[in-house]
């Protein structure tokens, strides 16, 4: 299963509803959208996610630098 969520077979999987707090309407809705698609076969369960964020960064262990977008 390739990781391209806009290609077959992912395009046939439905998106979940947008994620919300476990307490539902008792908590504010998230600022950014987060949702998932799920597929499976005889051996594995696959999860594809769509997460929105304005401040994305990560650590790289190869160079030890932080990358910001």
Q: Which domain holds residue 53?
A: 10-68
pLDDT of res. 17: 96
pLDDT per residue rounded down to tens, the chain (69 residues): 667 888 989 999 999 999 999 998 999 999 999 999 999 999 999 999 999 999 887 776 665 555 555
Residue 5 located in a structural domain: no
Q: Is position 1 within any domain?
A: no
**32 within some domain:** yes
Confidence (pTM): 0.70
CA distance 27 to 33: 15
Give residue 62's pLDDT. Answer: 65
In whole angstroms, give the CA distance from residue 10 to residue 40.
Answer: 11
Q: How many structural domains is the chain composed of?
A: 1
pLDDT value, residue 64: 56
Is the residue at 4 inside a domain?
Answer: no
């Amino acid at each position: 299963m390739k990781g391209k969520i806009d290609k077959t077979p992912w395009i046939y999987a439905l998106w979940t509803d947008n994620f919300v707090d476990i307490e539902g309407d008792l908590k504010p809705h998230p600022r950014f959208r987060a949702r998932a698609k799920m597929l499976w076969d005889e051996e594995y369960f696959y999860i594809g996610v769509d997460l929105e964020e304005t401040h994305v960064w990560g650590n790289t262990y190869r160079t030890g630098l932080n990358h910001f977008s």
